[in-house]
Amino acid sequence: MKLSKKNIIHLCVLTGIYLLFVLALTRFKYAYGSELDWGGQHYAIPDYFRKLFYKTGDFFPSFAPNIGCGENIYNLSYYGLYSPIILFSYLLPFVKMSTYIQIVSIIGIIASLWIFYIWMRQKFTDNTAFALSFVFLFSAPLIFHSHRHIMFVNYMPFLLLGFMAIEDYFEGKRKYMVTLWAFLMLMTSYFFAVSGIAAMAVYGVYRWLKINEKPTFKKFCKDGISFAFRLILAVIMACVLILPTLHCMLSGREAGNSHVDLKSFIPGVNLKFLLYYHYSMGLCLFTVLSIISAVFSKQRYRRFLGIVMMVIATCPIIVYMLNGTLYVDPKVLIPFLPLGMLLFGHTYFDIIRGKLKLKPLAVITLLVALAGVFWFKTTRKVEFYIILDFVVLMSSLFVYRRCKKELILNIGMSLCLVVSTVYANFADELVPLRELEYDNSSDMNTLADYVGSQEEISRTSNCVDEVNTVNMIYNADYYTMSIYSSLHNKDYNKFYYSEIYNENSYRNTSLTTQTRSLIADMYFSNRYLITDDPVKAVSGYKKIKESGSLSLYENNDVLPFGYATNALIGRKEYNSLNYPYSVEALFNNIIVEDKTEKSFSSDIKKVRSINFTECDQIKREWGKYTIDAKKPFTQEITLPETLTNNEIMFVSFNVNNDIKGGRKDAWVSINGNKNKLTAPDWKYYNNNRRFEYVITTGQDYSADSVKVNFSDGKYEITNIRCYVIDKDSLVRDVDPFMIDKKTSHGDVINGTIDVKNDGYFTISIPYTDGFTAKIDGKEVQCEKTDTAFLGFKIPKGSHSIKITFTAPLLHKGIVLSGAGLLIFIACVIIDRRKSKASK
């Protein structure tokens, strides 16, 4: 479509409004990225993809060795592994990924806005297209997620182009473009693959009904199969991403994180799926009016789309299925936003042309709004928006009927949406530019480069802004145990929290940041520690280097990356041990699945429990402490005995917040080690009802007391236990695996080892399907050791070891994608020949 001068002015005005909004948000002080997740995930992980590609040159990697102790890379594919938007950055090594992500996020919204305007202009007048595009821009999720969860909206340009291609398809023009845009949408954000393809299928039926005045079932089936083939072909082409990722989803999915019961599936008027909420379509009350109008429309295609949108808004089981049966979360409905706007446009256009009876629609809309408020629990803010929206909308319709000024109608249908969107975006905390520069400073890179230059591979604990640097990989030779990803190795996650008993200080157990536990640092071969706060340097670490405000510490008593020993203990025997004896067993043995004859003996000493001081906020009765505080508070607690810098103290107790007057997050920190129990009704309930702490003296020689911080709220603490062990009891003689850095990269680890006795080899890389191991060129059976890690039997002697990882279903995915690409090329040739023949 050729753009007129008026169209160009409209697009420039819309773009200007958005850019001014971005400027108002950032104010040259903040990055265009949220404190929540953006810094830790949405640029850090793509940056790692790029660094890994530069290191290996492998376009189809399987393994991410640097992050989370080593992960199947398809656990991270959600963050743009094959996204065309991210892949383009590989051509720009001189552009920081944090800068690149901000730029493409802004460009993505502008592109979506322009494409949407052109799409609407093909259906309505210039002014109507402008009004609809303004509402689209201020829909709750669009701007909000361009700086928070970018993959929630970064596929939108391809989806909109897909809708436009569907129109060409049913006109017999460039049919192959449906497949192309669907493919790019899938590769950009696989999480929205199901709902995105579903939205395109719904729009395909809508267009078919519009051009077929007398549809028949036979013709629908014939045309439907042909159209479905184009979408299925896009899915086949994307199998290189979909199949390995699907395997990760099925094997790495955590159970019990969300509460879904039969009550959740009861149909009802859930306006949260449609209105204001930035994790949904996020439109305004005019959308409800538009759906009702469409349901009663005489036009078959509008009625179909109206019924579909009504079913989506009232049937939670649809949302549950689109979420892959994980939870009932309306964020999967964001791809239906353009279709909601299409109905919006039809109703708006009908009002302008005087073809709509407003009184009955107003009454029905009021009843639906009231049902939405009273049927489902909503916040007072949402109730306020619904009431405000209804009053403003009905007032504007009343005034419009008398003065016929479209501006009045435009204000009425968009005012509340603009208010809610502005509020949500300005309430979202953005990453300060100063903080972004600090996390990626030259000082940080200097210390990371020093670590990477060492001959021996070890991991590094980054204790600088742990949440935002959780996935930060500063160079290809920098390794870390931390990871924050929606998908992850569930055995490793369980080990992190339930076997080595790291503190859990977050509302989401997917977030495994650098720990303050010396036990975990030693086990995971965290030889190095970077911090800007000496308090975070736990006992055993000595400062070896400084750069600016940052310091690098080293601990030579950590376990090797991989090692062999004949000290074994069977899984059954291990499972019979309670905390902290099970932790001691991990250090003194390799845990194997087979039964062993060895009996466990312990060097742990049980000591008197610590006692909290009774005060206004703490009451003690029969060994139970009840905390009831209006704000957080602190106590200095005397230890049962003096702790030296060569000793480790284990402290644990039960916490219960599911009590009358409680039911909110409860946390307790000891010397900065923080544990949190989430509110019982939180959808990612962390189930952390037993708090465990590893206490050391830090850089001091000894300690007589600890500082305990308590959260506000009401909760109970019971069953306090304290134990002490000498650190030397955890430092044992093993046969270290010497990794060859020159030949180890990407999916392959090579090295040598001298084994004193027949036994087992283990390496602190989480076990998963896809590993193969060879000793002296002969393949051996891989096993799970220490409940979560890769290991295998090994004989006495000097050996070379080669470990290779191939992501399950990757090769099948490559073959299917290749076949799909060939079929697509054939479709392009056939479509073009038909097009030439028709001319």
pLDDT, mean of each 10-residue run, the chain (839 residues)? 89 97 95 88 94 95 96 95 97 95 97 97 93 95 95 96 95 92 95 92 96 88 94 97 93 56 71 84 87 90 94 86 78 94 92 79 75 65 80 84 83 87 92 85 93 92 89 94 91 94 87 89 94 82 92 93 94 92 93 82 91 93 92 93 90 93 89 91 85 86 90 95 91 91 93 96 96 97 96 96 97 97 95 78
End-of-domain residue from the set 511, 546, 563: 563
pTM higher than 0.85: yes
The pLDDT value given to residue 261: 63
Residues 557 and 506 in one domain: yes
pLDDT tens digits, one per residue of 624-658: 999 999 999 999 999 988 998 889 999 999 999 99
Residues 641 and 690 in one domain: yes
End-of-domain residue from the set 730, 758, 773: 730
Residues 642 and 585 in one domain: no
Domain membership of residue 769 (yes or no) is yes
Domain membership of residue 452 (yes or no) is yes
Residue 719 structure tokens: 């069953």
The pLDDT value given to residue 260: 59
Find the distance separating the first CA and the last CA of the chain, reported in whole Å: 20
Residues 720 and 736 in one domain: no
Residues 161 and 246 in one domain: yes
Q: How far is CA 91 from the centre of its chain?
A: 26
Residues 675 and 759 in one domain: no
CB 43, CB 98: distance < 8 Å: yes
Residues 650 and 571 in one domain: no
Q: CA 734 to CA 718: how far, in whole Å?
A: 39
Domain membership of residue 352 (yes or no) is no
Task: State the sign of the Cα–Cα–Cα–Cα dihedral 100, 101, 104, 110.
Answer: negative
The pLDDT value given to residue 273: 84
The pLDDT value given to residue 258: 53
pLDDT tens digits, one per residue of 495-522: 999 999 999 988 888 888 888 899 999 9
Domain membership of residue 354 (yes or no) is no
Domain count, the chain: 4
Q: Report the relative pairing of strands 789-794 and 759-766 from DSSP bridges.
A: antiparallel
Domain membership of residue 101 (yes or no) is no
End-of-domain residue from the set 678, 702, 730: 730
Residues 707 and 825 in one domain: no
Q: CA 176 to CA 162: how far, in whole Å?
A: 10
Residues 534 and 678 in one domain: no
Residues 756 and 646 in one domain: no
Residues 207 and 240 in one domain: yes
Domain membership of residue 100 (yes or no) is no
Query: One-letter amino acid identity for 604?
Result: I
Residue 439 lies in domain: 435-563
Give the Å distances, CA to CA, from 660 to 663, 664, 715, 716: 8, 11, 9, 11
Domain membership of residue 469 (yes or no) is yes
Residues 680 and 577 in one domain: no
Task: State the sign of the Cα–Cα–Cα–Cα dihedral 170, 171, 175, 181.
Answer: negative
Partners of 446 in beta bridges: none
User: Residue 625 is inside which H or E element, if any?
Assistant: strand 624-629
| CATH code where residue 685 lies | 2.60.120
Query: One-letter amino acid identity for 8?
Result: I
User: Residue 570 is inside which H or E element, if any?
Assistant: strand 568-570
Q: CA 169 to CA 224: how far, in whole Å?
A: 12
Query: One-letter amino acid identity for 227?
Result: F
Domain membership of residue 220 (yes or no) is yes
